[in-house]
Structure 1
Amino acid sequence: MDVDCNTHPPGEAGAISARTLILDLMDTGSPPDFSTRDLVQAGAAFGLEATGIRTALTRLRQEGRVRALDRGRYAIGAKAEPLQHRILGWREVQSRRRLWGGGWLLAVAGPQERANRTLWRHTVRALDLEGFAEAETNVWVRPDNLEGGPEGGAAAMRRRLLALDGAPSLLLVQATALDEQREARFRTLWPVAGLAASHAGLVRRLAESAARLPALPLVEAAAESLLTGREAIRAILRDPLLPEALCPPDALTALIAAMDAYDRLGKDIWRRYLGT
């Protein structure tokens, strides 16, 4: 799933690009690879021309995000594997949490990181995906409550940011004993109520879509299930995984459970649509 892309209502013109569709399908890991015919047929569900699918496939191969197999099929490429690994783990994201001791992770950016616009864009995206919020000019912060292994939270987070194409020179440190004003302000940087409401809204949409899909023509059901499911997974992956003291996990737990059921339904629809 291309977690950077915006989603649109099912059936809307331009709802998904050929590039995003190919990556979305391959990111599911089920099936592990697709033929050109599969991808062209998938594109037809969204009104995408075969030439557009083939052009996107060629470009993705050149970028290393897709690789060709010996038997003329295509699978995820090395360049896209870190993000695919992250996407495939959406059901277990909450297992990344650990008991919060009150510390923080601070990412500090300087002129070196901002000089390259493309690198800086990737760095901001990586910080966003890892639940950081901009606290002050050039300073991003998140609670140090994620599993870090024996090396600690900062070392593990540094690896994750690098895997998401963040700037290697970004300063990332663990911080404790902040002044009272910063401590209080940092705790309010995330829109907790809005996040819970958004998750609850997606749970309702998943239920409504699941009830509607069986009555739809197969091609329409395939398109709707992919668009609706990708929006839910995008929300799960972008949840900052805050400690319970800052944000109760109930809304995210409910969304993951709802998406788990919807995912099984969507995959069955796509197997039938592609004839696999």
Structure 2
Amino acid sequence: MNPEELAGRLCAVDGVVAVALGGSRSRGTHRPDSDWDLGLYYRGNLDVPGLRAVAATVADEPVALTEPGGWGPWVDGGGWLRVGGTPVDWIYRDLDRVRRVWNDCRAGRYEVGVQAGHPLGFYSHAYAGEVALCRVLADPTGELAALREETRAYPPALADALVRGGWEAGFLLDGAAKAVAAGDSGAAKAIAAGDSAYVAGCLFRVVGVLVQVLHARAGHWLVNEKGMVAAAGRLPGAPPDFASRAQALLGSVGHSPAELTATLGAARRLCVEVLG
């Protein structure tokens, strides 16, 4: 597959402003079998039938392309193709919305939205990070390349906001502790609850919040949950063995109240080291 040639054909479709390569292939961390993630940056009415016509000429088999919004509120839609046996993902991005999010980033604002495929929630500043880390394949107007240059510098106001947001980790651990030992206030002693599922969910988000804080302090963009723990462990300022300790929390949450309590204790210690 020639990605530049394909990107040029996609840019000829009404509404498409630019096409960029994202994911591990844009960062040079890909494996031979890694997907090709193509971001289709559009404005206004996107000609989805036109995209389907292009897909029909390059894909190994029929492809179901969504309308904008077909995959949820943040991952705007697209399709999963195979081109010459290689997985190629087309992912829509509303360029005007990306610009609005970038303005929010510079002002120290971000959102966390519910989005299929993002168990931590979709952090809005990922839009800016995707642009900063992408490789522009086709950009007739030069708009995406110019935005890429702007987003290379991580906004200090965004970093401050994400670090302040680290308070959530402690709040989550307090809630998880209540699920380990629950009881009536008038009872002589608490009834052991041992709610492993709830504790595991809280711990995943705790780790995610800590990862966001570490990336923000280091001024490194984080665009999704895949590989986030390992990436955070390599950052300057990460506690010793952060990645292995965080993975251990999630890999062995425990079942009994005693096991869950021990896990929460380890999580609190990690929080203290990250958040102070």
Structure that is richer in strand per residue: 2
Q: Would the TM-score normalized by the shorter structure come out above 0.5?
A: no
Larger radius of gyration: 2
TM-score (norm 1): 0.31
Structure that is richer in helix per residue: 1
Which structure is higher in RCO with an 8 Å CA cutoff and minimum separation 6? Answer: 1
TM-score (norm 2): 0.31
